[in-house]
Amino acid sequence: MRVDVVTIFPGMVEPVLAQSLLGKARERGLIDVQVHDLRRWADPPQRQVDDYSYGGGPGMLMKPEPIVRAVEELRTADSWTVLLSPQARPLTQPGVRRLAERPHLILVCGRYEGVDDRVRDLVVDEEVSIGDYVVAGGEVPALVLIEATSRLIPGVVGCDDSVRDESHAAGLLEYPQYTRPEEFRGRRVPATLLSGDHGRVADWRRAQALRRTLDRRPDLLSERGLTDAQRLLLAEFDLDGPDTANEARP
């Protein structure tokens, strides 16, 4: 997977890409991420990338020429250009999976009051938001998108099961997890997890994932509702109360 990031602040992006799983994935050639300074495509000598908005209003707007030139130079037949924007629908895990299947992403990081709307018409294939709120620019959202998509590339995460079972991967939140010690400040690890019965553990985890989703994000289940099998699973583990991992309580 190849990703080109177009930004006026490349120094905000590159250091993060060198760390942790992303840094290792780049070193191993699993993902190719290049960060580009938008001013490279701005007119000399000032290399201006913003200007006042027609019609007035506060702040500056990013000019269309540098962004369009950058995308036109970077894109290939397989490219998909994404504008990071608070005006888009919030990114979800299905959206992440869809973008992860693209061989080449060009991520355009907006700043100031946004970008000239002609950029959307001329070179943008999709707009992506990381939430219903506004941040100072598209650099942090671009990093979020890169990390989320790269995790789905085989080999980036050491254990494939980690990606398959984590929150939102199957439309549910992840089940509660515990490590040593078995008891901490009067709270014990659920007995089922210590039983050694792998089938029972799997059922417990599915039931807890359902309960946690119902309590914290019922909207994830609102469209499809619970199946009869899921209701039976919840009843089996007596999870009628709130998501508290009952067995962990003293």
pLDDT bracket for residue 234 (50, 70, 90): confident
> 132 and 202, same structural domain?
no
What is the domain extent for residue 180? 167-248
Which pLDDT tens digit goes with each residue over 72-122? 999 999 999 999 999 999 999 999 999 999 999 999 999 999 999 999 999
Residue (of 169, 170, 176) closest to 242 by Cα position? 176
- What mean pLDDT is reported for the chain? 90
Q: Which residue, of 117, 150, 183, is where some domain finishes?
A: 150
pLDDT band at 131 (very low <50, low <70, confident <90, very high): very high
CA distances from 108 to 24, 61, 65, 102, 113 (A): 24, 14, 13, 16, 14
Place of tokens 């991992």: 245
- Looking at per-residue pLDDT, the higher value among 241 and 164 belongs to 164
Of the listed ranges 1-5, 85-89, 182-186, 219-223, the least confidently predicted one is: 219-223
Q: Residues 53, 113: contact at Cβ < 8 Å?
A: yes
Sole residue written with tokens 């707007």: 61
For residue 159, the model assigns a pLDDT of 60
- What pLDDT, on the 0 to 100 scale, is given for residue 245? 46
Q: Do 103 and 172 share a domain, yes or no? A: no
Domain end position, chosen among 150, 181, 209: 150
Which of 150, 180, 211 is the endpoint of a domain?
150
Residues found in the chain: 250
156 is a domain residue: no
pLDDT in tens, 7-21: 999 999 999 999 999
| CB-CB neighbours of 159 under 10 Å | 8
Q: What CATH number does residue 224 fall under?
A: 1.10.1270.20
Pair 133, 24 in one domain: yes
Q: Is the pLDDT of residue 22 over 80?
A: yes
Shared-domain flag, residues 139 and 230 = no
pLDDT for residue 226: 84
Residues 113 and 225 in one domain: no
158: in domain: no
Instruction: Give kind and range of the element (H or E) at residue 106.
Output: strand 104-109
Per the structure, the count of domains in the chain is 2
Angle at 226 between CA 222 and CA 232, to 5 degrees: 155
Q: What per-residue confidence (pLDDT) applies to 223?
A: 64
Please indicate, yes or no, if residue 42 is contained in any of the structural domains: yes
